[in-house]
């Protein structure tokens, strides 16, 4: 047995162990998700009496889906959610990447450090603190609630802090200053440098921020419920919450609504997942 064989074998055993560990942890992670999947095909009574059974006593049913879709006016709320999530995610990424660029590169400017400190501090404000003042100002004084644009801008406003924080870290440690200096010498303005050199290198972070914020916007309930009063403007979580109640819960419908709601995000994630990898490997950012 030569040395190479041995090393290769060791490597394989290690890989197998890793995979086994991952599978075990993976199962732990998806059990609750599987429970949703199992129970979505049952009627309410069967869910309560035995949530673990694969098929309920009253048999397999698909009825939860059309019921949930009809009750929540699915296609309309889906469209609303899609528009709001997409616009707010794009705006968040653009605005916070820009802001973090100027903050990282000009740390000695007072405005920059002040803004950054405020942003970090704001991330720990419990939303309940801002809830009533927010609607008092924008509903009570300016009367601009009940609008998708308002919601998009508010979503963006609430999430720029965290996105800026993440881009800040990425620019700070992953974008070499020399690249920018070279571009500046070539006659690029700061603005051009940012878009042509820096932003493309931020792809992995863009993908991360995109998936995290898109998720947050897609699933957010509290803010949209405060801003959107009109039924025509409802998003998926607001429509779904009509199923939750203090005194009774049709959990089968809830699960169906939930499954419908998370599919698009799951697909988006699988798609972006590739980009996180591709972005990093193609960039060869650091070395």
Partner 1 sequence: MERNTMSYKSKQFLMFAGPALVLFCMVIIIPFLYGLYLTFTSWDGVSADKPFVGIANYISAFKDAYFWASMGRTIVYSAFAVVFVNAVAFALAYLVTSGIKGQNFFRAGFFIPNLIGGIVLGYVWKFVFNRAFVAIGEAVVAGTVPSLLSSTGGAMFCLVLVSVWQYAGYMMLIYVAGFMGVSDSLKEAAMIDGCTPAQAMRNVTIPLMRTSFVTCIFLSITRCFVVYDVNLSLTKGEPFNSSVLAAMHVYNKAFIYKDYGTGQAEALILFIVCAIIGIAQVYIGKKGEVQA
Partner 2 sequence: MKRCITKGLVLAALLIMAMCVLSACGESAEEGNTGSSNGITIFNSKMEIQDQMLQMAERYTEKTGVPVEVYYSSDTVSAHLATKYASNNPYTLSMVDAKDVYSLAEEHAVDLSDQKWVGDTQYAIEIGGKTYGFPVCIEARGVIYNKDAIEKTTGRKFKPEDYRTNKAFAKLLKDLKKGGMESPTGVMKEDWSLGAHFLAQVYEERDDPDAFVRGLSDGSVKLMKDKKFNALMDTFDLLMNNSYSKASAISAEREVTEQKLAEGEIAFLFGGNWDWSVLSAYDYTENMGLMPVPQDLDDGMNQKLVGGGSKYFFIDSSSNTSDEQRQQAKDFLNWLVYEEEGQSFLVDDCALVPAFSNITKKVVDPLGASVKVYADKGALIPNYNYLPDDHYAILGAMFQKYLAGKSDRKGLAKDVTTYWKTKTLKPHEN
Q: Which residues bind partner 2 (CB under 8 A)?
A: 44-45, 48-49, 71, 83-84, 86-87, 90-91, 94, 131-132, 135-136, 138-140, 143, 145-149, 152, 195-196, 199-200, 225-226, 229-233, 241-242, 244-249
Burial (CB < 10 A; 0-12, 13-18, 19+), residue 206, is: buried
Residue 253 lies near partner 1 (rule: CB under 8 A): no
Q: How far is CA 141 from CA 136, 137, 145, in A?
A: 7, 5, 10
Q: Which of 162, 228, 239, 260 binds partner 1 (CB under 8 A)?
A: 162
Is 166 within 8 Å of 209 (Cβ atoms)?
Answer: yes
Binding partner of residue 87 among partner 1, partner 2, none, CB cut-off 5 to 8 Å per kind: partner 2
Q: How far is Cα 122 from Cα 261, in angstroms, rounded to an integer?
A: 29
Please state the closest distance from residue 210 (CB atom) to partner 2, in A.
12
Q: What phi and psi values does residue 249 have, to the nearest 5 degrees?
A: -140, 125
Q: How many residues in the shown chain lie near partner 1 by CB under 8 A? A: 101
3 state SS of 98: helix
CB 238 within 8 A of CB 224: yes
Residue 187 binds partner 1, judged by CB under 8 A = no
CA angle 200, 270, 42 (to 5 degrees): 155
SS3 50: coil
Q: Restricting to residues 224-243, name those near partner 1 by CB under 8 A.
A: 237, 241
Looking at beta carbons only, is 86 or 269 nearer to partner 2? Answer: 86
CB of 166 to partner 1, least distance (A): 6
Q: Mask 7-46, x = binds partner 1 (CB under 8 A)?
A: --------x--xx-xx--xx-xxxxxx-xx----------
Residue 172 found at the interface with partner 1 (CB under 8 A): yes
> Tell me, what DSSP letter sits at residue 243?
T
Residue numbers 87-126 binding partner 1 by CB under 8 A: 91, 94-96, 98-99, 101-103, 106, 109, 111-112, 115, 117-126
């Amino acid at each position: 047995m030569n040395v190479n064989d041995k090393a290769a074998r060791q490597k394989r055993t290690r890989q197998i162990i890793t995979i086994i560990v991952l599978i075990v942890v993976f199962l732990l992670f998806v059990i609750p998700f599987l429970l949703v999947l199992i129970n979505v095909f049952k009627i309410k009574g069967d869910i309560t009496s035995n949530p673990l059974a694969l098929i309920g006593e009253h048999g397999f049913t698909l009825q939860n889906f059309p019921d949930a879709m009809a009750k929540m006016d699915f296609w309309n709320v889906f469209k609303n959610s899609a528009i709001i999530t997409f616009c707010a995610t794009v705006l968040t990424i653009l605005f916070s990447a820009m802001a973090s660029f100027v903050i990282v590169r000009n740390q000695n400017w007072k405005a920059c450090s002040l803004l950054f400190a405020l942003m970090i501090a704001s991330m720990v404000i419990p939303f309940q603190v801002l809830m009533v003042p927010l609607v008092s100002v924008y509903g009570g004084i300016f009367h601009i609630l009940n609008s998708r644009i308002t919601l998009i801008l508010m979503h963006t406003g609430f999430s720029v802090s965290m996105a800026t924080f993440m881009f800040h870290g990425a620019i700070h440690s992953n974008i070499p200053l020399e690249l920018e200096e070279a571009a500046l010498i070539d006659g690029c303005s700061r603005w051009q440098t940012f878009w042509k050199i820096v932003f493309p290198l931020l792809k992995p972070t863009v993908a991360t921020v995109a998936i995290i914020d898109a998720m947050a916007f897609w699933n957010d309930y509290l803010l949209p419920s405060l801003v959107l009063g009109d039924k025509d403007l409802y998003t998926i979580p607001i429509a779904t919450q009509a199923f939750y109640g203090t005194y009774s819960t049709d959990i089968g419908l809830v699960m169906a609504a939930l499954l419908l709601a998370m599919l698009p995000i799951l697909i988006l994630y699988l798609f972006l997942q590739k980009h996180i990898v591709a972005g990093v490997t193609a960039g060869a950012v650091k070395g």
